[in-house]
Amino acid sequence: MQTVRLTIPASPERVFAVLSDGWAYASWVVGASHIRDVDQGFPTPGTKIHHSVGGWPLMIKDESVVLECEPNQRIVLKVKVWPLFGGIVKVELEPHGDGGTLAAMSEELVDGPGKLLPEPLIAPALNARNRESLKRLADRAVHDGRYTMGGARAT
């Protein structure tokens, strides 16, 4: 499993507000291009984000399902880009410094042909993608006024 970390100058509640907004998924997850639907109750375990990956005309329609969720602390998703791979992604949040958050994102390929790739070959790509995803998550948490400091999404 590969893990990357980033310190975000926003509270865990604010960062989690972005994580718990399934409609924002494509704005921070590298590779996700379009959200088609989000199950009511997301991010309750068992709920899904129905998304597309890639660019037109080569978009793959798939979904990610919540396996675990601890508000303001952790979310675990089973992600798929079928038929290429399926993986487990964990985003963990810890209070850090004066009101900031240490975010850690881990990913492990568990299904599909992508799982057969050697770790030294796939690790740099996963790490680069997840580093960029955390930077985008940080930008949303810090700069998007729709997420209040209390963690609720403003209307």
Domain boundaries, given as residue ranges, for the chain: 2-143
pLDDT digits (tens, 9 = 90+) for 71-85: 999 999 999 876 777
Higher pLDDT, 144 or 7: 7
Sign of CA dihedral 114, 35, 65, 106: positive
pLDDT exceeds 90 at position 22 = yes
The pair of structure tokens assigned to 34 is: 């379009």
pLDDT at 74: 98
Mean pLDDT across the chain: 89
Q: Which residues pair with 74 in a beta bridge?
A: 70, 92
pLDDT at 148: 62
pLDDT exceeds 90 at position 16 = yes
What architecture does CATH give domain 2-143?
2-Layer Sandwich (3.30)
How large is the average pLDDT for residues 130-141?
97
pLDDT at 146: 83
Cis peptide before 113 (omega within 30 of 0): no
